[in-house]
């Protein structure tokens, strides 16, 4: 954003420089026209003879000078229907008589007053003649551009030609100054705009960083109020108030989950013990024994849910304690696969496990995460398909992939799979007995070990979960 502001400002300054140069050129050209007009008004106040026009030509040549970057002037005078005087170096391709004749025809149509015949110049005591026609034209002759001013006072016509190329040479010095100053102005404008934009966006960047760092574990963070950016103070205050409300809500939910899990453990343990005793005392293969056995299975399932909730609550509170030890991940994964083979049914398990890979980890939690992943592959994969388990090492990174054949998971569901209690196929989840906590817990365990858990592929052929550890 700051870079864009600097670029826009630089573009505006560049455009302003171009516009200013065009205005400067136009102003100087208008000044040249005014000078030519002043010369014409002064010298057409009387009907002058050839000697006067010759002196005027010499005066203009003297003003232009030799070798100076000043415009050169040429004159053409016609009086009483004949050419009175023409400068020696008048541009050959330019003939002002075409304009003289056009004005004469126009005057005939306008029926002007009769012009008295005069054989001598008008006396200085008589009123000065006024210009009745003024026009400017641009013409080219000998590869040079000439600006022609044509004037008349009923008695005669005066054409003054100005070499515009010489005029442009005089302005080239000013153009060089523009070329030198413009880059410096652009640089100053860009730097100033960048600094102002950066300073203005600083509170937005702080707020953005705070939002990006917002998580269940980081709700205690607050954005500091910035005294000199008053426009953002209310936004910062509202954000801080929102995080306070979120923090309270998360704390209540976390405490409820932790308290509920803790309070349920004791009665569930008692019920499980009572059911085990009742199961032993029931008659073999009796209806009571089957009922007690089913209830005991459901009780074990419920105890597992409570244990998972307890671990998730500890993770949310940042209190998931790891009992780190050197774990042989290769052996652990082999044992998990062997356990899965016992309940695989018609599913074939393939192993691609690199040997003797060790890591500092909490063995109990890591094994639980691996069991969750392998169990999901068996439950949700093709009942007659393949489950492939692989372990590889890339430097300090350990990568575990657990893949199963089966239906594709829609792309919109990939991240939601790791939400608690979320199941993308509820009908199938009911049949396999899932509650939607295994993946969420496995990801928390992976992240607690400095790794992550992701779904990296699900295209109707393979569904692949990747667990990385470092």
Same domain, 328 and 309: no
Last residue of a domain, one of 264, 284, 316: 316
- Is 190 within a domain? no
Q: CB within 8 A of 195, min separation 6: which ones?
A: none
Q: What is the pLDDT of residue 426?
A: 42
Q: Are residues 307 and 334 in the same domain?
A: no
> From first to last of its 470 residues, what are the pLDDT tens digits of the chain?
555 655 666 667 667 767 776 777 788 788 888 888 888 888 888 777 888 888 888 888 887 765 555 677 888 888 877 888 999 888 888 888 888 777 766 665 555 555 555 545 555 555 677 777 888 888 888 788 888 888 888 778 889 988 888 777 767 666 677 667 777 777 777 777 777 777 777 777 776 776 666 665 566 666 666 555 566 677 777 777 777 777 777 666 666 666 666 666 667 777 778 777 777 777 887 888 888 787 877 777 677 666 666 666 666 666 667 788 898 999 999 988 888 888 877 788 888 988 888 989 888 888 888 988 888 888 888 888 899 999 998 888 889 999 999 888 888 888 888 887 777 664 444 445 566 777 888 888 888 888 899 999 988 889 999 999 88
- With a CB cutoff of 8 Å and minimum separation 6, the contacts of 282 are 288, 289, 292
Q: How many residues comprise the chain? A: 470
At which of 298, 316, 334 does a domain end? 316
* Distance, CA of 131 to CA of 362 (rounded, Å): 106
* pTM for this model (two decimals): 0.47
Q: Is-contact 310 441, C-beta < 8 A?
A: no
Structural domain contains residue 220: no
Same domain, yes or no, for 287 and 383?
no
Q: Return the closest-CA partner of residue 381 out of 458, 440, 298, 467.
A: 458
Is residue 270 a part of any domain in this protein? yes
> Which of 147, 173, 199 delimits the end of a domain?
173
Structure-token pair, residue 371: 């069991």
Residue for token pair 């050129």: 25
Tokens, residue 92: 């050959």
Residues 412 and 283 in one domain: no
Same domain for 96 and 62: yes
- pLDDT at residue 286 in the model: 81
In a domain, 385, yes or no: yes
CATH number at residue 266: 1.10.287.130
Let me know if residue 347 belongs to a domain: yes
Dist. CA 62–CA 27, nearest whole Å: 24
CATH of the domain at 343: 3.30.565.10
42 and 81 in a single domain? The answer is yes
- Specify which residues 326 forms β-bridges with: 360
Q: Which of 47, 75, 45, 46 is nearest to 59 (CA)?
A: 75
Does 145 share its domain with 19? yes
Is 134 strand, coil or helix?
strand
| Number of domain units in the chain | 3
Residue in this structure with the two tokens 């209690």, named with its chain if needed: 421
The answer to whether the beta carbons of residues 343 and 383 sit under 8 Å apart is no
Residue 194 domain flag:
no
- Looking at the structure, tell me whether residues 382 and 310 fall in a common domain: no
Domain match, 49 and 140 both: yes
Whether 33 and 146 share a structural domain: yes
pLDDT of 390 reads 92
pLDDT for position 401: 92
Residue corresponding to tokens 């990174």: 397
Are 305 and 410 in a shared domain? Answer: no
Match 């093709």 to its residue by tokens: 382
Please, what is the end-to-end C-alpha distance for the chain in angstroms? 37
Contact between 315 and 444 (Cβ < 8 Å): yes
Domain range spanning residue 112?
Answer: 2-173
Whether 465 is in a domain gets the answer yes
Token digits of residue 2: 């700051």
Residue 56 lies in a domain: yes
Is 353 found in the same domain as 310? no
For residue 360, give the H/E element and its range: strand 358-362
């Amino acid at each position: 954003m700051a870079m864009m502001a600097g670029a826009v400002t630089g573009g505006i300054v560049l455009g302003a420089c171009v516009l200013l140069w065009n205005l400067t050129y136009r102003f100087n050209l208008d000044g040249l026209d005014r000078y030519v007009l002043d010369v014409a008004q002064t010298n057409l106040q009387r009907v002058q003879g050839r000697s006067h026009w010759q002196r005027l030509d010499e005066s203009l040549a003297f003003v232009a000078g030799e070798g100076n970057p000043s415009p050169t002037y040429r004159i053409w005078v016609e009086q009483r229907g004949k050419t009175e005087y023409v400068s020696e170096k008048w541009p050959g391709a330019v003939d002002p008589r075409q304009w003289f004749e056009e004005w004469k025809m126009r005057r005939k149509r306008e029926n002007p007053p009769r012009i008295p015949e005069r054989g001598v110049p008008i006396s200085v005591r008589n009123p000065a003649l006024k210009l009745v026609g003024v026009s400017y034209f641009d013409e080219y002759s000998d590869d040079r551009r000439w600006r022609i001013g044509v004037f008349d006072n009923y008695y005669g016509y005066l054409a003054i030609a100005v070499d515009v190329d010489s005029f442009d040479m005089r302005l080239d010095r000013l153009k060089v100054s523009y070329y030198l100053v413009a880059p410096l102005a652009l640089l100053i404008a860009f730097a100033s705009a960048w600094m102002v934009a950066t300073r203005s966006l600083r509170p937005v960047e702080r707020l953005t960083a705070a939002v990006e760092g917002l998580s269940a574990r980081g709700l205690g963070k607050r954005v500091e109020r910035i005294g000199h950016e008053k426009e953002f103070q209310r936004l910062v205050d509202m954000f801080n108030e929102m995080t306070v409300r979120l923090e309270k809500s998360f704390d209540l939910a976390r405490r409820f989950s932790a308290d509920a899990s803790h309070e349920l453990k004791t009665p569930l343990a008692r019920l499980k013990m009572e059911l085990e005793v009742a199961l032993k005392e029931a008659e073999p293969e009796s209806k009571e024994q089957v009922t007690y056995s089913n209830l005991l299975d459901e009780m074990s399932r419920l105890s597992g849910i409570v244990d998972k909730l307890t671990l998730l609550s500890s993770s949310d509170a940042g209190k998931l304690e790891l009992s780190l030890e050197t774990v042989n991940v290769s052996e652990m994964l082999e044992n998990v696969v062997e356990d899965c083979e016992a309940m695989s049914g018609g599913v074939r398990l393939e192993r691609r496990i690199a040997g003797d890979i060790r890591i500092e980890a909490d063995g109990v939690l890591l094994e639980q995460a691996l069991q969750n992943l392998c169990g999901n592959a068996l439950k949700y994969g093709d009942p007659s398909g393949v489950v492939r388990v692989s372990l590889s090492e890339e430097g300090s990174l350990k990568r575990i992939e657990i893949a199963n054949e089966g239906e594709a998971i829609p792309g919109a569901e990939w991240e939601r799979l790791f939400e608690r209690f979320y199941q993308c196929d509820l009908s199938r989840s009911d049949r396999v007995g899932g509650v939607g906590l295994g993946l969420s817990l496995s990801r928390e365990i992976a992240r607690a070990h400095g790794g992550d858990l992701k779904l990296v592929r699900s295209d109707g052929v393979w569904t692949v979960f990747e667990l990385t550890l470092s």
